Amino acid sequence: MLSNLTLAEAHQGLKEKKFSSVELTTDLLGRIEKLNPALNAYITVSKDEALKMAKAADEVITKGNLVSPLTGIPIGVKDLINTKGVRTTCASGILKDFIPPYDATVIEKLKALNYVLVGKTNLDEFACGGSTEHSYFGPTKNPWDLERVAGGSSGGSAAAVAADMSFYSLGTDTGGSIREPASFCSAVGLKVTYGRVSRSGVTALASSWDTIGPFAKTVQDAALVLKAIAGKDPKDATTLQAEVPDYAANLGKSIKGLKIGVPKEYFGEGIDPEVEKLVRAALKEYEKMGAILKEVSLPYTSYAIAVYYVAMPAELSANLARFDGIRFGSKPKEDVKSLVDYYYQARKEGFGDEIKRRIMIGTYVLSAGYYDAYYLKAQKVRTLIIQDFENAFKDVDVLMSPVVPFPAFKVGEKQDPLSMYLADALTIPVDAAGIAGLSLPCGFTASGLPVGLQIIGPQLSEGLLLNTGAAYEQATDWHKQKPKL
């Protein structure tokens, strides 16, 4: 079995010609075929395409051009990232047969390195949700407990990595959609600084919040992936000019003297005692390594969910206006007489409940007479959340907290939309401020469910976060634990 290797180990094997990319890909496809019926991590498996790409990668490797650690490595990609010629559904009925005519910039970058795409991973419809239950294609199950959710919205990407069905994967994070499923599934998940990675060719949810980042089995692997996908892109005006460092080469620095802020609001009411205990134990581990802990306060934390559920639906309702079943997407089954009825029908049949709810909230808060009370107000409180972090980072280098207040919940357990939204309480503030956050496995509850440690840093602190995370990985072996499947 090769699928249990890390990205770095798989790269080493290709380099030493212990196996070929075709062998690696065939092995991974076998694993997916075996496990996907139970986990539903993949919406689409592109077997023929994958083997073609693997063959092309092997030719590059044979010629001695193995320039990137990602060359010849097979992966799954979240299914709202456009892959030319490979169906991209956004887990929505309205795009269930959509085949994009172009690649997202992140995919162009990976293609230039001869990566191998094995398939598209499951998500909540249009990345709206925290459990992947809002997928047109059914929920992704948690590899550690098949009765539980994998988290969301990038649940398929997280479960695929945790279950060795992908060597790494790509996801998106708007309110916690990388970190939350990473925490639920025991994977490393990195939410990058807003604008660090191009979003061209990725379906927009909330444009002033959306980011793309990696899931990986180790911090080192996440560092390797980030270097490959980050950077300025003329096609995404929000991308940052800042140079992309060699994140992996910069790992291994001592964290002695690192000042870690512990935000008291992130350990307050609603935090599961087992989650708190494991995260506090991780903090102790950092103290042992020479880091200095300091309690800090982020007083506007409790307003973050409210800010998010005004601003995000507002931006989403505008972004999803383009889905009308005309230029692309599914035409409605029921025939109608006029164009306007066509719009009503295409969107009625094509969208799931959560999308309908968010479109309506967004439409409402942007409508005449309500804009100031809701959207503008939310944008102002967003400023206060940003200032909370700015003040904290005057005193400390990074912040540490739980990722989610509780471990993975059962499929179907959270029927009320608002109770689902509360899962993002500790991840949304990071998105609001456009700063970086890392989710790192830090142990298991008594019943064997994974728990994640969140490490938060200022904008463009990805290098610092990865080095800080790698130090913990050296001292512990949580990341090496595998689900029994």
Residue 475 makes CB contacts below 8 A (sequence gap 6+) with: 285, 288, 289
Alpha-helical segments (H) within 63-151: 105-112
Give the nearest distance from C-beta 117 to another protein in angstroms: 19
Per CB under 8 A, 361 contacts another protein? yes
* Angle of the 304-319 helix axis to the 353-366 helix axis, nearest 10: 100
Q: In this structure, are residues 135 and 122 in contact, taking their beta carbons and an 8 Å threshold?
A: yes
Interaction residues for another protein, span 219-278 (CB under 8 A): 234, 237-238, 240
Rounded least distance, CB 172 to another protein, Å: 16
Active site residue 177: yes
- Which candidate in 20, 21, 135, 153 is catalytic? 153
Q: Which of 357, 444, 481, 485 binds another protein (CB under 8 A)?
A: 357
Calpha distance 357→365 (Å, rounded): 12
For another protein, the closer CB: 151 or 325: 325
Residue numbers 458-477 binding another protein by CB under 8 A: 459
Q: Which residues from 410-449 bind another protein, rule CB under 8 A?
A: 416-418, 421, 432-434
- Our finding on whether 210 is near another protein (CB under 8 A) is no
- CA dihedral over 174, 271, 354, 132, signed as positive or negative: positive
Q: Which is nearer to another protein, 143 or 195 (CB)?
A: 195
Q: Provide the minimum distance between the beta carbon of 208 and another protein in the complex, in angstroms, as a whole number.
A: 6
Distance, in Å, from the CA atom of 261 to the CA atom of 243, rounded to the nearest integer, reads: 27
Q: Which two tokens stand for residue 428?
A: 């949304």
Does residue 343 touch another protein according to CB under 8 A? Answer: yes
Number of Cβ atoms within 10 Å of the Cβ of 341 = 13
Measured distance CA(253)–CA(452) in Å, rounded: 22
Q: Is residue 303 a contact residue for another protein (CB under 8 A)? A: yes
Which residue of 383, 391, 448, 480 would you call a contact of another protein, by CB under 8 A? 383
Does 338 sit near another protein (CB under 8 A)?
yes
Q: Is 330 in the site for another protein (CB under 8 A)?
A: yes
Site for another protein (CB under 8 A): which residue of 215, 342, 409, 478? 342
Given the complex with another protein, which of 1 and 340 has the nearer CB atom? 340
Q: Closer to another protein by CB, 81 or 240: give it.
A: 240
Instruction: Check 78, 191, 217, 414 and give the catalytic one.
Output: 78
- In the complex, the smallest distance separating the C-beta of residue 315 from another protein, rounded to whole angstroms, is 10
User: How many CA within 13 A on the CB side of residue 14?
Assistant: 35
Nearer to another protein by Cβ, of 249 and 376: the residue is: 376
As measured in angstroms, the least distance from the Cβ of 231 to another protein is 14
Q: Could you tell me the sign of the dihedral formed by the alpha carbons of 318, 437, 403, 217, in that order?
A: positive
Contact 420, 285 (CB under 8 A): no
**Nearer Cβ to another protein, position 409 or 421?**
421
367 belongs to the binding site for another protein (CB under 8 A): yes
Judged by CB under 8 A, the stretch of 172-180, 223-231, 300-308, 468-476 that binds another protein is: 300-308
Q: Which of residues 51-110 bind another protein (CB under 8 A)?
A: 97-102
Instruction: Measure CA 425 to chain center.
Output: 16
* Binding residue for another protein, selected from 294, 380, 410, 480, defined by CB under 8 A: 380
Residue bearing tokens 């400023």: 383
Rounded CA gap, 244 and 169, in Å?
Answer: 20
How do beta strands 292-296 and 259-263 pair?
parallel
Residue number with CB closer to another protein (305 or 466)? 305
Q: Which is nearer to another protein, 380 or 480 (CB)?
A: 380
Given 177, 186, 198, 401, the catalytic residue: 177
Name residue, tokens 């790409």.
Answer: 53
Tell which residue, 64, 63, 75, 60, has the closest CA to residue 112.
60
> Per rule CB under 8 A, is residue 480 in the interface with another protein?
no
Distance CA 378, CA 15 (A): 51
What is the total residue count of the chain? 485
User: In the 8-state DSSP scheme, what is residue 332?
Assistant: P
Rg (CA), the chain: 21
E-state strands within 133-273: 141-142, 145-149, 168-173, 188-191, 211-216, 259-263
478 binds another protein (CB under 8 A): no
For the CB of residue 379, give the shortest distance to another protein in the complex, in Å: 3
Examine the residue annotation and report whether 78 is marked as an active-site residue of this protein: yes
Give the active site residues: 78, 153, 177
